[in-house]
Structure 1
Amino acid sequence: MTVHADIILRNGPIWCGREEGVVEALAIWQGKVLAAGGEDEIAGLAGPKTQVIDLKGRLAIPGLNDSHLHLISLGMTMGWVDSRPDAAPTLEALLGAIAARAATAKPGEWILSRGYDQTKLDTGRHPYREELDRAAPNNPVMLVRTCGHIAICNSQALKLGGIDEASPAPQGGLIEQQNGRLTGLLAENARAPVQAAIPAPSEEELVAAIERGGKYLLSLGITSCMDAAVGQKAGFREIGAYTRAKRDGRLPIRTWLTLLGDEGRSIVPSCHQAGLISGTGDDMLMIGAVKLFLDGSAGGRTAWMTQPYLGEDETTGVWMWDDAELEGMVMDAHVKGYQLACHAIGDAAIEQLITAYEKALAAHPDPDRRHRIEHCGFSTPAQHERMVKAGIYPCPQQVFIHDFGDAYVKVLGPERALPSYPFRTWFDLGLKPATGSDAPVCDPNPFPNFSAMLTRRTWKGTVMDAAQRVTIEEALQAYTEFGAFSQKREHVKGKLVPGHLADVAVFSRNLLTADADAILNDTACDLTILEGKIVYERPSA
């Protein structure tokens, strides 16, 4: 029986993978790649019902894999007040946006906002509690920094959270005061009481967030993602929301679920009892790893460093766990069969995590468990040697260089900041670094991420150690094949080779030949194919 392709892509470069290179045409059949090769070879697979897509010189690649973002949070915050620098470049604009939302809200209704970066505001500082009070006098307000590790709360929000000047800061948390008065700034674990006072989302709201965020990702050429800390918003109910979203056809994107494992709010016991361990599911929805938070963010001065940040307070950041506590949680998840993907940005946090991984792997060897270090921003050469030896992999977000590089220089100084997120080093060591956005920390738009990998330039033009640049084909490999590798799915996706899932992104220009500025400023996703079906077409393409 002659097999005819369902879809054929032709008349444009088709990048199948770093080793496979570029072909002229691609045939898709029953959701998988049937063949890739020359125009004449693939033309023979066309039948009367085959849809032939003319690329018109545009580049097609495997669908992108954002290896670390928060899908539910992304979808939910799309309805919050936008306080990102583009939307609110000044403190006045930020407060005005909050006031505008408060003017349409009912008294007592929460005003939630995310995206500000104090280093990019005209004031160069965090907003104060009293300023939020004036913007929304009749509503509780929580303003979340872009990193997601710091929140500024107004007086009503603090009161609902039961926080006052006498409240002790919890382990792994900070309640800021100036002159004996709350500023409204809460960092890391100190935010929990206020977060608990915010009404929990319903299952329908969770499903809607999954659907909304997933559709946005498809419009960017992203066909796979990792939700990095399922359980943060609504506990184990988020597993049910994902399952319902898939059942009802409202899960737009392949999603690899990373389970919140922090003691006190972990959903791992419930998942393990239900038989949900790493690898459970299918390639549309799969249980991935367990997530523990070890520290905060560098830009927020809460990533845990061995040396102090610049400034008068001599802080080294915020650490979450004693060594024994962390090692116990890591060992428990490891013994239960889970891959781990833990948040560690500062060199002190990375050191603590590598040690915990090494002890778990020594006690219960598994040469291909692929425990991950999420972010891994300020790792050292000695730590890299141990990662290679133990099979521990970095999962960074190179867009951090673009969005936050200047903030790193400001809080750490150039000597420590410029070499951060050493992508070239990880490539050369064979550590197969993936990349992602950590959305909603950064927008999942892949083009600033590509630009950062190619140039190491920040949004202001600062070059963050040019020696850590990679080529465009290496950047594409990180976004596709290495993303699949980080999820142990490299044998089914991440390349356009026969038998792999037919997930394809088509871009408005050829990234292989375009300069970095054109990629950053003048490129769009024109077409996205998921499992052999067109799921997004840009209206003006």
Structure 2
Amino acid sequence: MTVQADIVLRNGPIWCGYEEGTVEALAIWQGRVLAVGRDAEIAALVGPATRVIELKGRLATPGLNDSHLHLISLGLTMDWVDSKPAVAPTLDSLLDAIGARAARARPGEWIMSRGYDQTKLDVGRHPYREELDRASPNNPVVLVRACGHIWICNSQALALAGIDENTPAPSDGLIEQQNGRLTGLLAENGSAKVRAAIPVPSEEELVAGIERAGNYLLSLGITSCMDAAVGQKAGFAEIAAYHRAKRDGRLPVRTWLTLLGDDGRSIVPQCHEAGLISGTGDDMLMIGAVKLFLDGSAGGRTAWMSQPYLGQDQTTGVQMKQDADLEREVMNTHEKGYQLACHAIGDAAIEQLITAYEKALAAHPDPDRRHRIEHCGFSTPRQHERMIEAGIYPCPQQAFIHDFGDAYVKVLGPERGLPSYPLGTWFKLGLKPATGSDAPVCDPNPFPNFHAMITRKTWRGSVMDARECVSPEQALQAYTEYGAFSQKQEHVKGRLIPGYLADIAVFSRDLLTAEPHEILNDTRCDLTIRGGEVVFEREGATH
């Protein structure tokens, strides 16, 4: 008896993977890919109950995998004041938006906003505390830069956190003053006291954030993601929230949980005690790596560089950990059996991390642990050689090139800024780079990311070293197969071959042949399938 497919997609192209190329039709049965091939071959699997989806020339691909974002944070910030440049391009418009939210807020309610970039504001600087005071005189305000590493607070927020002119800045952070007065700017762990003062989200708020952000990802063709710092908002309670979301059918996307591991905030001891180590879970919800923060962001001038940023202060950024502390944390985590996925953007931070990984792997060899360097923005040729030797992989976000490339050149100069996030080099070296958005740092919308991979163009049209461009097929490989590889799941998902999970995205135009400007400005996800189930259909899409 011939099996009858649950769903058949036909009249492709259907891109099955970098090596597999495209086919005309694909059949799904019981949540997995049953068969791929010519339309006439797959037609034999169509039965009375089969749903047939006519692609009509639209491209179907494996579901996209955003390999580094913050799902809970994305969901929570979707309810914050939006201060992204596209929404609030001027300081006045940003302050007006905060003022409007404050005007309808309850007394004492925190006003949270995220997305501004001082290099894109009309004033070309960070907002000041006094400006936020005028916008919201009766409510505490926190304005978070797009990168998440710099916070601007009004006076009430600083007071509630117990920060004044006499508060010492931590060694791994900044509490900025000018002329003996707080400006409101807090960088890296300079914001720790404010973080502690903000009310912790309830479990229901966490689950609602997971659901809200996950449904947004499905609308973009993203079926898998990595939550890059579970525990940042509510500690170990986020593990419970994820499992409740899964139990209650409110986890829209496959999620790989990366556990916050920094001393003082780590949830790793509780997870390890509960038996939650890398690989625990299932295809829908899995414990992934452990996250440590080594530095900040390049656009915020806090990524740790070996040479100073441009400017009179001669800063080299923020070193978050001393060598001995990092090596101890990495060794301890590695010994417990965890994969590590640590934040390192500047070349000095990358150097420090590679050294710590090398020492852990030398002490406890594991040729397939796949420790990751998250972001890895300013890596050097010698560092690449060491990564290859040790089996360490970069996990970048090419959306950064689109959103922040011009800022990199502004703060570092063209010699260091233009070749940042060298995707083409990593491909040539076989380092299997994944890609992602770091949402809510960047919007998870994949099309600016895809456009940046194939053109190296920023939002302004500047070209960030065209030698690092990759082909459309390679860009899709980064978004699918290499995303799965980064999570040790390349034998389960990331390609459309028989037996693999039937996670599929259908786009309004063919990304393999469309003009780059069409991809950036006029392409949408029309339909998303996760595990053989249609979980998103764009209203009005033709099929």
* TM-score of the alignment, normalized to the shorter chain, above 0.5: yes
Counterpart in 1 of 2:230?
230
Counterpart in 2 of 1:381?
381
Q: Deviations over 1:214-245 (max 9, x none)?
A: 00000000000000000000000000000000
SS in 2 for 1:24: strand
1:150 is matched by which residue type in structure 2? I
Distance 1:459 1:106 in 2: 37
Counterpart in 1 of 2:201?
201
Counterpart in 2 of 1:476?
476
Alignment pair present for 1:330 and 2:316: no
Deviation at 1:29, TM superposition (A): 0.2
1:70 is matched by which residue type in structure 2? H
Q: Deviations over 1:7-36 (max 9, x none)?
A: 000012000001000000000000000000
Counterpart in 1 of 2:411?
411
Deviation at 1:208, TM superposition (A): 0.1
Counterpart in 1 of 2:315?
315
Alignment pair present for 1:103 and 2:81: no
Structure 1: gaps (5+ residues): none
Counterpart in 2 of 1:246?
246
369-378 or 42-51: which moved more?
Answer: 42-51
Alignment of 1:369-518 (within 5 A): 369-518=369-518
Distance 1:227 1:457 in 2: 27
Alignment of 1:133-172 (within 5 A): 133-172=133-172
Alignment of 1:65-214 (within 5 A): 65-214=65-214
Distance 1:483 1:109 in 2: 39
Q: Deviations over 1:113-149 (max 9, x none)?
A: 0000000000000000000000000000000000000
The CA RMSD over aligned residues, in Å, is: 0.4
Distance 1:428 1:172 in 2: 36
Give 4+ residue runs of structure 1 displaced > 2 Å after superposition.
none
Alignment of 1:248-263 (within 5 A): 248-263=248-263
Distance 1:538 1:2 in 2: 33
Distance 1:195 1:373 in 2: 26
SS in 2 for 1:41: helix
2:71 is matched by which residue type in structure 1? L
Q: Deviations over 1:50-100 (max 9, x none)?
A: 110001110000000000000000000000000000110000000000000
Distance 2:393 2:106 in 1: 48
1:65 is matched by which residue type in structure 2? N
Distance 1:115 1:422 in 2: 25
SS in 2 for 1:440: coil
Structure 2: gaps (5+ residues): none
Distance 2:511 2:2 in 1: 35
SS in 2 for 1:16: strand
Distance 1:85 1:313 in 2: 27
Distance 1:211 1:319 in 2: 35
1:516 is matched by which residue type in structure 2? P
Distance 1:108 1:284 in 2: 39
Counterpart in 1 of 2:364?
364
Counterpart in 1 of 2:9?
9
Distance 1:48 1:521 in 2: 39
Distance 1:168 1:101 in 2: 32
SS in 2 for 1:470: coil
Distance 1:366 1:402 in 2: 36
Counterpart in 2 of 1:352?
352
Distance 1:138 1:101 in 2: 12
SS in 1 for 2:239: helix
Q: Deviations over 1:174-227 (max 9, x none)?
A: 011111100000000010100111111000000000000000000000000000
Distance 1:353 1:242 in 2: 29
Distance 2:221 2:193 in 1: 38
1:523 is matched by which residue type in structure 2? T
Distance 2:14 2:379 in 1: 35
Alignment pair present for 1:297 and 2:292: no
Q: Normalization by structure 1: what TM-score?
A: 1.00
SS in 2 for 1:48: coil
SS in 2 for 1:289: strand
Distance 1:250 1:398 in 2: 29
Deviation at 1:171, TM superposition (A): 2.0
SS in 1 for 2:518: helix
Deviation at 1:108, TM superposition (A): 1.1
SS in 2 for 1:65: strand
Q: Deviations over 1:381-431 (max 9, x none)?
A: 000000000000000000100000000011000000000000000000000
SS in 1 for 2:12: coil
Deviation at 1:540, TM superposition (A): 2.2
1:369 is matched by which residue type in structure 2? R
Q: Deviations over 1:467-508 (max 9, x none)?
A: 000000000000000000000000000000000000000000
Distance 2:139 2:97 in 1: 14
Taking only the aligned residue pairs, the percentage that are identical comes to: 81
Distance 2:413 2:185 in 1: 24
Deviation at 1:2, TM superposition (A): 1.8
Q: Deviations over 1:316-373 (max 9, x none)?
A: 0001111000000000010000000000000000000000000000000000000000
SS in 2 for 1:334: helix
2:127 is matched by which residue type in structure 1? P
SS in 2 for 1:11: strand
Distance 2:12 2:216 in 1: 25
Counterpart in 2 of 1:37?
37
1:51 is matched by which residue type in structure 2? R
Distance 1:356 1:19 in 2: 35
Deviation at 1:48, TM superposition (A): 1.2
1:99 is matched by which residue type in structure 2? G
Q: Deviations over 1:426-472 (max 9, x none)?
A: 00000000000000000000000000000000001110000000000
Distance 1:435 1:157 in 2: 35
Distance 2:306 2:153 in 1: 30
Deviation at 1:107, TM superposition (A): 1.8
Distance 1:294 1:207 in 2: 29
Counterpart in 1 of 2:219?
219
